[in-house]
Amino acid sequence: MTEEKKEKVGLIWGCFEHLHYGHIKLFENAKKHCDHLIVCVHDDAYIEKFKNHKPAISAEFRAKVLESVSHVDRVDIQSSDFPDRMEAKKQMILKYNPDVILVADCWTPQTFTGMGLGPEVIFLPYTGGISSTDIRKSVVKNFKE
């Protein structure tokens, strides 16, 4: 009797409001650590509540775009119906029970621990020189000119 190999599930989350090359590199690096990558995109209220701006692109649309990325196996929308950011992340960890949690290294072991829920936490390198915040600011600036 042969034992089936269990797929290693990875979980990552973010706004991904202006999908860019840095996000693609993040997913590519994340996929090196798992067989099945789940991406949780923050809902619109989460962005307003925790990022302090109105999203330019709806969560549903962002999720559809993420579904087309080759390194992404599943997309879900992370709710803001929790008192803080960590509780929202904890609920996604409990929902998917991943083997590994993948986070950009803008987080640190001091700011994100995995909340003691068991999965290994891997900090992935940020792609320098590009950020959604910078893109948003540039669009707003150019629109006003």
**Confidence band of 1 (pLDDT split at 50, 70, 90):** low
Report domain extents, the chain: 9-144
Instruction: Answer whether residue 45 shows pLDDT above 60.
Output: yes
Model-level pTM greater than 0.75?
yes
Asked if residue 42 lies in contact with residue 14, where contact means CB atoms within 8 angstroms, the answer is yes
Confidence (pLDDT) at 27: 95
Closest by alpha carbon to 77, among 99, 102, 45?
45
Amino acid at 48: E
Amino acid at 105: D
pLDDT tens for residues 53-109?
A: 898 899 999 999 999 999 999 999 988 777 777 788 888 889 999 999 998 877 667
- The neighbour count for residue 114, using CB atoms within 10 Å, is 18
Domain 9-144 CATH (choose: 3.90.1150.10, 1.10.3720.10, 3.40.50.450, 3.40.50.620): 3.40.50.620
Average pLDDT over residues 124-140: 67
